[in-house]
Structure 1
Amino acid sequence: MNNNWMTKPRSRRETLQSALGIGSLAAGGMLASACAPASDPQPAGAKREPVDFSDPTQSLRAFIKLTGDLDPTVETPSWFGGTVFGDARRDRALKPLFGVQGFGVLRTEQEADGSFRIFNRECAFYTDLKTGKFIDQWKNAYTKEICDVKPIHNMTVNAHLIVSKKVGTAIEMDFDGNVMEVPLPLGWQNFDDKLFSTFEVHTAFPNLLKPEDWPRESAGKVLRMAEIFQRVVSLAEVENPDLTSADYSGCWTRVGPWLPWMRQGQTPGNLLFRTFMTKLRSIEQIPADLKAITEERLPEFFVAPPPETWGTENDSSFSVYAQENEPLPALEE
């Protein structure tokens, strides 16, 4: 049987929906509401203080203003939504598996040395590609097994953004119990008033879900991740000293292993997350269906982590799964 979705007869509407990934975004008008600008356009004659993006200290400060708020009392929500694809065979096209929609809330604190503490919390729910509705079960597109879907609910995803003598800007972060310093090239480019920012984190670290203990859920001994955040912002907002925050819209891309709840085990392959994202003015801008399911199931996710979480281990889809679930028995051969 040919499982290559690209070769099956499809209507023009189906082709456009797959190409644009609108199955999980169009329902309820969530794309239009979530992508409303988080700040008003800059008035004529607004103040400007040019930023030297080649200076790591100025670059880092601009990045904090873009992603969050320089005011340590302000919590910044952001939304993301898109499609998750599976890559199981090198001779076949990627397969769209399900949608994803979620949000994060972060707060920043600048330290005396110019570095920034990031207090971040994030959650997301997976959706049916056809209806855009949130799902609690998913029929595995490869094995046909019915799997219980586990939402992303990471209570603490803190990070320390620093200026490193070796690499310039860098991020110090706990990855499932492994504290790592990763170079943070911010990749600024501008075109007239459009300022582009690229933030990438590429890591590989031991998997908490060891294959010998979690034969159905573990993707292997090592988790290899690539997270790429691309944002577009007004240069005038970034250079306005009267503003502590600058609006952005952009894309989040992630390449990583199978999720534990998919029950793929050590089957070769990986997932590609392709999403839009944008900064929000407030929690009230979160799409109604996402806000409702979060209020029902994860009400504590509307605020950033408190200061006392600093220095504690971060959460991830893998560490949270290990905390909340027991290993499934291996399949009989």
Structure 2
Amino acid sequence: MTEWTLAHEDRRAPLLGRRTVMAVGMGAAALAALPSSASAAAKRLDPKNADDARKIIRKLRYRTDEGMVFWWIKGEYLADVDATLTPLYGMNFGGIQMVRQGQDGGFDVTQMELGFRTDLATGKRLGDFRNPLTGEMLVSPFNPIGPTTIHYSPDAIPTVPRNLGGSDIEFQPFPETPFEAQGNVFVQYRARSRVRTAGFADRIVNDVSMIYGPSAQALDPRTTSVDAWVHSSDVTSFPRWLKMGDRPGTITLRGIGAKVLKIGDMPQDWLAMLEAHDRTIIADPEAALRRPPVTYKG
């Protein structure tokens, strides 16, 4: 799933999302249709009920009907060495997802993750990069992820493919528990992935995010999607391209983003970078999800 799910950083491993969270489709309309009586309000979904919680989480992260979902995240990566944080580069991330119902009562999410590293001063796509920790001049690679399909069981348990674009992924999700506060519903998301790639050292990717959206949409059983936002703070071992060798330390993401239902509602600077990379994805994102998966080297 940004390094938001593997793709945020080099990747993000699935979901999976970290790991794509805007007002699309149902903003004002959903609010205008809200029930006002006490009896109608009692029919709201209950975050403490297990079945309702699964619906709430799906509406926040994806949608309960079939269709496209897009997430964006903007932020910066910082190196953490001996509790000293050093800014490295920015991240302008976009995730493209198609949600389809599964025959077993669950659902499938096919996704592609396109994260562009950026210069912290200009916001432009990163090219040559001097590692501030080693002084070495490097070239920032572009590592899109997917397309990858993740199946969710009727109990919303994901099955992540063991092989992701040529790398072996050991994925461990943690329980997601929604709660309501101050007119919003929040979901704490955390997953850990070990990435094994032949010829490279293993990488650990911890995807840590807080996804939230208005209670009026999240708890209304009639809505199928929520105008959701995400705060991401992934913690991972150093990306291989930084050539940190055996130096101790990690990198962490400080990012914020939102979910939209149309690719044209994604941030304009991300769209410009994607157009320069491959404009056919913008023209037909659904077709892009039918391509063979790219090789992952994150």
TM range (shorter): 0.7 to 0.9
Task: List runs of 5+ in structure 2 lacking aligned partners.
Answer: 1-19, 36-40
Question: How far apart in 1 are the matches of 2:59 and 2:189?
Answer: 14
Rounded Cα–Cα distance in structure 2 between residues aligned with 1:181 and 1:266 = 24
* Alignment partner of 1:187 out of 156, 177, 187: 177
Distance in 1 between the 2:289 and 2:137 partners?
A: 40
Asked if 1:174 is matched to 2:161, the reply is yes
Alpha-carbon distance, 1:281 to partner: 4.0
Aligned to 1:197: 187
* Higher Rg of the two aligned structures: 1
The structure-2 alpha-carbon separation of the partners of 1:154 and 1:195, relative to structure 1 and needing over 3 Å to count, comes to same
The one of 117, 139, 155 equivalent to 2:108 is: 117
Relative to structure 1, the CA distance from residue 114 to residue 106 in structure 2 (aligned partners, 3 Å threshold; closer, same or farther) is: same
1:131 aligns with 2:131: no
Match of residue 83, structure 1, among 55, 58, 76: 76
Partner of 2:237: 257
Deviation at 1:305, TM superposition (A): 6.8
Q: Please tell me whether residue 279 in structure 1 is matched to residue 259 in structure 2.
A: yes
Q: Using the alignment, how far apart are the partners of 1:225 and 1:285 within structure 2?
A: 29
- Give the counterpart letter for 2:74 in structure 1: G
- CA change 1:35–1:225 in 2 (3 A) is closer
Question: What are the residue-to-residue correspondences of 1:155-304 with 2, within 5 Å?
Answer: 155-163=146-154, 169-175=156-162, 176=164, 178=168, 182-205=172-195, 207-210=196-199, 218=200, 220=201, 222-302=202-282, 303-304=285-286
Q: Equivalent residue of 2:216, what SS? A: helix
Pair 1:46-2:34 in alignment: yes
Can you give the 5+ residue segments of structure 1 that lack an aligned partner in the other structure?
A: 1-33, 211-217, 323-333
Paired amino acid for 2:101: Q
**Contact persistence 2:48–2:179 (CA under 8 A):** no
Structure 1 residue 119: Cα displacement: 1.0
CA separation of 1:182/1:113 partners in 2, compared to 1, >3 Å: closer, same or farther? Answer: farther
3-state DSSP of counterpart to 1:320? coil
Rate the CA distance shift 1:179–1:320 in 2: closer, same or farther, 3 A: closer
- 3-state SS in 2 of match to 1:236: helix
Q: Assess, with a 3 A threshold, how the Cα gap between structure 1 residues 202 and 260 changes in structure 2: closer, same or farther.
A: same
Does the aligned pair in 2 maintain the 1:100–1:124 contact within 8 Å? yes
Cα distance change on mapping 1:186 and 1:241 into 2, 3 Å: same
2:266 partner letter: I
Shift of 1:82: 0.2
Tell me the residue number matched to 1:37.
23
- Once the 2 structures are TM-superposed, how far is the Cα of residue 183 of structure 1 from its aligned partner? 4.2
SS of the residue 1:157 aligns to: strand
Q: Secondary structure at the match of 1:94?
A: strand
The 8 Å contact of residues 68 and 96 in structure 2, kept in 1 or not, is answered as yes
CA contact (8 A) 1:171 1:184 kept: no
Partner of 2:87: 96
Q: Distance in 2 between matches of 1:151 and 1:126?
A: 8
Q: 1:70 corresponds to which residue?
A: 64
Percent identical residues: 18
CA RMSD in angstroms comes to: 2.8
Partners of 1:84 and 1:231 lie apart in 2 by 19
Structure 1 position 40, deviation (Å): 1.8
Residues 140-178 of structure 1: per-residue CA shift (max 9 Å, x gap): 1122221111123113233222256xxxx5321025454
CA distances 1:67-87 after superposition (whole Å, capped 9, x unpaired): 122221x21111100000112
Q: 1:56 touches 1:163 (CA, 8 Å); kept in 2?
A: no
Q: What is the distance in 1 between the residues matched to 2:234 and 2:287?
A: 23
Contact 2:45 2:220 in 1 (8 A): no
Contact 2:178 2:186 in 1 (8 A): yes
Query: Compared with structure 1, are the counterparts of its residues 201 and 183 closer, same or farther at alpha carbon in structure 2 (3 Å cutoff)?
Result: closer
Give 1:35 deviation, angstroms.
8.3
